[in-house]
Amino acid sequence: MTIETATKGDSITAPAGNISDESTGLTPHKEHTEQPGHQEGAQIAQFKGPLEKVYAFWLAGMSCDGCSIAVLGATAPPVEALLGGTIPGLPKVILAHPVLSVEAGKDFVAMYHKAWEGKLDAPYVIIYEGSLADETLAAATGGYWSCMGTSGIGDPYEDSVVTTAEWCKRLAPGAAASIAIGTCATWGGIPSAYGNPTGAMSMMDFLGKDYRSTLGLPVINIPGCSPVGDNFTETVATVLMFLQGMGPLPEFDELGRPAWLFKETVHRQCNRAGYYEEGTFASEYGQKECLVEIGCWGPVVQCNITSRGAINHMGGCMNTGAICIGCTMPGFPDKFAPFYSAAPGSDVSGAASRMVGSFIRPLRRITQRSQNRETRWDRNGEVPSGWGHPSEPSTSDKIAHYFYEKLQFSGSVKPGRTKPEAKYKGNYEVPGVVAGESDPSQKPTP
Amino acid sequence: MCFKNLPIEFDSQGKAQLKEGVSNPYTYQVKSLHAEEDQLRTLLAKNGHIKSVDFDPVTRVAGALAFHTVADLKEGKILSANSMATLFRGYEVILKGRDPRDAIFISSRACGVCGGVHATVAAHAMEMAFDIKPPPLGIVVRNMMLALEYLYDHPLHLFLLAGPDYSQAIVEQSNPEIMEKAWRTPAPGANIHGYANMGKLMEDMNPLTGSLYLEALHMTRVAREAYVLLGAKYPHPETIVPGGVSVTITLQTFNEVYARLIKFFDYSKKAAAIWDDLTNFFYDANSRYQEVGSRPMNIIDTGVWDDPYAYDASYKNCNEWGERRWATPGVIIQGDLVTTRLQDINIGVEEFVDHSFYEQWNSHRFKTDPAGNPLSPYHAWNKETIPKPQGQNWKERYTWDTAPRWDRMSVEAGAYARLLITAMAKKLPHNRFIESTGTSLKIQLPRATKPALELEWHVPKTWNAFERNRARAYAIGYTAMVCMDNWQHGMDMLKSGETAVSTKFEIPKKGTHIGAGFWGAGRGFLTHHLVADNGVISNYQINTPSTINASPRDPFGTPGPYEQAVMNTPILEKYSGPENFKGIDVLRAIRSFDPCMPCTTHIHVDGSDRVVSREVNTCACGVD
Ligand code: SF4
Ligand code: SF4
């Protein structure tokens, strides 16, 4: 593909995407027995080569519009850049959004119909926000739970409605990719919580395990309630980069999650993980320590918000002080309820880290006290701070430090051990260093 | 005192009680819609075309709210309007039988446009039910979060959602004569917003390309960055807890929020000047624009932003702490402020389901509220949600929305309600930046890159789509200064060492506890009502501003606010034939409410075979 630059003829050419053979499709998880991409090779041929545009159909089922709002906050890339076609190398995304489109009416739904009939001039993807209702439950009493569009037959006054689930069924088979955004669409989410009357379910549950898009992919799942907007725009961008031959095959895990975003637990990247490791825990909301004892589920939750932030790298749950309630997980919400109470598993792991922490913490403080001093202060034996009186290292501190340094520089050179005359050939006298001796400040003073 | 229709009177101490000698005080007769509907159908049938309507996609019902209208193009009138919510997710049903602690995170998911408010109002309901009082800094942080949420919401609405309706791109098509005049009309606010004439200003409002559009998109992100520094994420924050917030506050938090908040000082000046100029220009071009979206000034609001030293979460004292808010609670009927007491507001609201897809419940468990005021069986504490999906029928039931009414009257909610009631009530406690004069609100905007400015918003004489938008534009400055005032309070608390942000709580395992949260969403009035029996939720009721505004006809036959506003809207658009009719005036009327559900209008053009259908977006990132 070609990236246009300012001067004509001065273009950079990247290798064309290799899309039609073995590497077809994006990589589903390794453990997945069937490589769906292989079966659908024929259809994929149509995507060979750089795409100029891609259609995207956004379907909102039982949703709160929070996913749309989350995507509006994305910055890497921002949604207006995808839609405006202003990202060099990427095709323009033509979005049909039941909530967002400015130009609506005739042309708007005509596009959905064209896609359904396979008459679009470019491939399309569908994006589903919200869960899908079990409409058979509502139909039993002659109604619906969630709908978009009418059947197009009959009296406008009594026109029958087309459910959002029906639109999903119509468009999914012809889509290059079907993307579920947000926990409602990926795993059923809150509308499918215990006691719900609508039989709400996820896109994956609705389409079934044999579903494949024309690219050979099962449903791509980008969970989160609400999701991080960038997780969505980034997934779309990387898939497009792959299709354009600019990037590698994005990896998806066994549940169709972008693996580079959802492989790790949020605890591993948590900015409070150090407190956990040292066994110090918050007992009230607002405290700075690890939140596990007041309800955080982070250690078992796959989410990247602590490293990515919520919007433009700001915020994020534990970054701010909030417990993790597992909103990206298939078990959300019922398996994480009641909220604000500690997960039972945290008793065991918390007690363990308390024990280890009570041992590690004092040792670290010794080293920290030493590292908190300039070598000059060690040399002069005083800290010239007007702010306070940092405690002088105690004898036991010094002994500990002596052995600590031994270990630190075993197999290496301690700075200052080289004879100064060897270092400064011009006979320049280093302040505080007697020629012929190594730096006295580096001499351990046991 | 304040009730005209409910059978409630007040004794000499101002305590509410049922009027004596009224048997079955709350019963009512449902007024049939059949006659009205049949008449319309005859009208439609007479022109003979209706059966041959081209059912091209235009007839579809999209989004969660559909709007159905019959228009007489010859007269330029709207004959009838029906508002229908097309989505049911069952939050109230899901919450029933759960641990009350789940209410905050689950109910937040009721709305992805303003989820943060739901989380807070759910926390309020729990705090009232279980007697938990958050510490002052916790209250201040909540106030700031809410203000920052509005600061994202108002620009979004003004420039991304409603804005395009007033842009050159749209007006050039719908009313070329107005656009032509715009190019010739100097803009009075030029020294503030920088546009020499109205044409240029309107050009910059064009979707996706106009610089005002893009600037607003940017400002929504600035506000959301500040929000997530306190709320962790948006739209569903994670830091609201019963008894306060779960935010680790340091000077970094305050500094980073401040760095973003101050960007709104100049932006507030600009937004107000732009919408002043737009409103006056349209009124000037055709005075009938004052009728677009007009309806009686019947307004309700719960008030928002608690006084950190007055809020104690109790129902008993809610009249007092309610009136100490930075936005005063209240009800306006026909332009007169009739109450500012939260208890009056609370007991006056009833929800009717006669034209909705729900079954009527029969219980009347709570005859009085915790303060001893009489409660209707249709009040939220007594209401039950019994969904019954069925086909829509304009004569019977046509929506998933209910019909909330105050004193059995159709009232509207919105960001503007905060300005109207606060300006009229003169109850605003002492604060650094905002003054209520009885007829106006004065807002002191500090110097930033532009000089300091006093904004003064006046209670308008007429109530219509333009005034809703103008008020919302002033609400940016109002909100920014409420946030600033709270920010300063927070800093003062850090100075004095009042650093606790939450209070420990227990959920009692025994007994019946009831509570309510009253707190404004971006679009105004919001309540959650909670009943817990033996530590389990036995009833949970959510009443949102869009429930109120999008409501269908009530049993007394009165249409909901959207329906009324649309029926009062004249068709001022210019079009060559029915096939080119766009319905822009109707859209302006609906969008001025800032509908928070995806909303579609359908207009049956009387005397032709056209059905116009247009999206009313709540959000506009996709412009293609
Ligand atoms: S706050 Fe949660 S995610 Fe962070 S370290 Fe503690 S348990 Fe892990
Ligand atoms: S940290 Fe937990 S609660 Fe926060 S976004 Fe991730 S999964 Fe959701």
Q: What is the pLDDT of residues A366-397, one digit of tens each?
A: 888 888 889 889 888 888 888 988 778 888 88
- The reported pLDDT for the residue numbered B622 is 22
Q: pTM score, two decimals?
A: 0.87
The closest of B417, B404, B420 to B558, measured between CA atoms, is B404
Give span(s): CATH 4.10.480.10, chain A: 264-378+395-410
- How would residue A113 be classed by pLDDT, with cut points 50, 70 and 90? confident
- First-to-last C-alpha distance (Å) of chain A: 68
For residue B416, what are the CA distances in angstroms to B283, B298, B543, B560?
Answer: 19, 12, 18, 18
- Contact of A226 with chain B, judged by CB distance below 8 Å, is answered with yes
Reported in sequence order, the residue ranges of B73-192 that DSSP labels E, i.e. its strands, are: 77-85
Domain residue extents for chain B: 8-20+53-620
Give me the amino acid identity at B501.
V
Residue B604, pLDDT > 50, answer no
- The reported pLDDT for the residue numbered B61 is 27
Q: How far apart are CA B581 and CA B604, in angstroms?
A: 11
Please name the member of A67, A98, A316 whose beta carbon is closest to the beta carbon of B232.
A316
The bridge status of strand A124-129 relative to strand A53-60 is parallel
Residues of chain B with Cβ-Cβ distance to A160 below 8 Å are 391
**In contact, A268 and A306? CB cutoff 8 Å:** no
What would the mean pLDDT of B81-97 be, rounded to a whole number?
A: 73
**CATH of span A21-260:** 3.40.50.700
**Distance between Cα B512 and ligand 1 center (Å):** 35
What would the mean pLDDT of B30-49 be, rounded to a whole number?
A: 68
The bridge status of strand B349-352 relative to strand B403-406 is antiparallel
Closest ligand to A271 CA?
1
Q: What is the pLDDT of residues A263-303, one digit of tens each?
A: 999 999 999 999 999 999 999 999 999 999 999 999 999 99
Give yes or no for residue A324 CB within 6 A of ligand 1: yes
Q: How far apart are CA B527 and CA A387, in angstroms?
A: 51
- The reported pLDDT for the residue numbered A84 is 82
What would the mean pLDDT of A151-170 be, rounded to a whole number?
A: 55
With 0-12 / 13-18 / 19 or more C-beta atoms within 10 angstroms meaning exposed / middle / buried, residue B214 is middle
Can you tell me which atom of ligand 1 is nearest the CA of A324?
2
Mean pLDDT of chain A: 78
Q: What is the pLDDT of residues B354-389, one digit of tens each?
A: 888 888 888 899 999 999 999 999 999 999 888 777
**Distance between Cα A352 and ligand 1 center (Å):** 15
Q: How far apart are CA A281 and CA A274, in angstroms?
A: 10
- How would residue B392 be classed by pLDDT, with cut points 50, 70 and 90? low
- The reported pLDDT for the residue numbered B54 is 24
- The reported pLDDT for the residue numbered A145 is 57
Please name the member of A142, A149, A225 whose beta carbon is closest to the beta carbon of B61.
A149
Residue A234, pLDDT > 90, answer yes
Strand partners, B331: B300, B339
Residue B461, pLDDT > 60, answer yes
For residue B337, what are the CA distances in angstroms to B9, B177, B333, B340, B409?
Answer: 18, 40, 6, 8, 14
- How would residue B215 be classed by pLDDT, with cut points 50, 70 and 90? very high
Q: How far apart are CA B582 and CA B176, in angstroms?
A: 14
Lowest mean pLDDT among A18-27, B40-49, B220-229: A18-27
**Distance between Cα A231 and ligand 2 center (Å):** 13
Q: The domain A264-378+395-410 is classified under which CATH number: 4.10.480.10, 2.30.30.100, 3.30.70.360, 3.10.20.740?
A: 4.10.480.10
Most A CBs within 10 Å, among B52, B54, B94, B252, to test the A interface = B94
Residue B107, pLDDT > 80, answer yes
Contacts of A212 (CB under 8 A, 6+ apart): A36, A39, A40, A218
For residue A114, what are the CA distances in angstroms to A128, A170, A195, B512, B623?
Answer: 18, 11, 38, 57, 19
- The reported pLDDT for the residue numbered A154 is 28
Q: What is the pLDDT of residues B146-163, one digit of tens each?
A: 999 999 999 988 998 888
- First-to-last C-alpha distance (Å) of chain B: 53
Q: The domain B8-20+53-620 is classified under which CATH number: 3.30.470.20, 1.10.10.10, 3.40.640.10, 1.10.645.10?
A: 1.10.645.10
Residue B280, pLDDT > 90, answer yes
For residue A104, what are the CA distances in angstroms to A95, A99, B378, B612, B616?
Answer: 12, 10, 39, 10, 9
Lowest mean pLDDT among B73-82, B210-219, B243-252, B262-271: B73-82
Would you list the DSSP string of A198-233?
S--B-HHHHH-TT---TTS---EEE--SSPPHHHHH
The bridge status of strand A220-222 relative to strand A177-181 is parallel
Cβ contact B101–A339 (<8 Å) = yes
- Contact of A314 with chain B, judged by CB distance below 8 Å, is answered with yes
Can you tell me which atom of ligand 2 is nearest the CA of A225?
8
Give yes or no for residue B225 CB within 6 A of ligand 2: no
What would the mean pLDDT of A208-218 be, rounded to a whole number?
A: 93
Count of pairs with CB atoms under 8 A, one residue in A, one in B: 339
- The reported pLDDT for the residue numbered A31 is 41
Give span(s): CATH 3.40.50.700, chain A: 21-260
**Distance between Cα A276 and ligand 1 center (Å):** 7
Residue B201, pLDDT > 60, answer yes
Please name the member of A73, A99, A198 whose beta carbon is closest to the beta carbon of B221.
A73
What would the mean pLDDT of A323-336 be, rounded to a whole number?
A: 94
The closest of B486, B467, B480 to B420, measured between CA atoms, is B467
What would the mean pLDDT of A119-148 be, rounded to a whole number?
A: 75
- The reported pLDDT for the residue numbered B603 is 46
Residue B82, pLDDT > 80, answer no
CA nearest A197 in B: which residue?
Answer: B90
Cβ contact A105–B57 (<8 Å) = yes
Mean pLDDT of chain B: 86
Residues of chain A with Cβ-Cβ distance to B619 below 8 Å are 65, 68-69, 72, 99-100
With 0-12 / 13-18 / 19 or more C-beta atoms within 10 angstroms meaning exposed / middle / buried, residue B48 is exposed
- How would residue B500 be classed by pLDDT, with cut points 50, 70 and 90? very high
Lowest mean pLDDT among A149-158, B98-107, B417-426: A149-158
The closest of B113, B244, B248, B237 to A325, measured between CA atoms, is B237
What would the mean pLDDT of B394-409 be, rounded to a whole number?
A: 83
Lowest mean pLDDT among A2-16, A163-177, B589-603: A2-16
Would you list the DSSP string of B198-236?
HHHHHHTTSTTTSHHHHHHHHHHHHHHHHHHHHHSSSSS
**In contact, B538 and B531? CB cutoff 8 Å:** yes
Identify the top-confidence range among A79-83, A367-371, B439-443.
B439-443
**Distance between Cα B503 and ligand 1 center (Å):** 21
Residue A33, pLDDT > 90, answer no
Give yes or no for residue A97 CB within 6 A of ligand 1: no
What would the mean pLDDT of A78-98 be, rounded to a whole number?
A: 86
- Contact of A10 with chain B, judged by CB distance below 8 Å, is answered with no
- How would residue A162 be classed by pLDDT, with cut points 50, 70 and 90? low
Residue nearest atom 2 of ligand 2, based on CA coordinates: A324
- The reported pLDDT for the residue numbered B192 is 95
- The reported pLDDT for the residue numbered A390 is 78
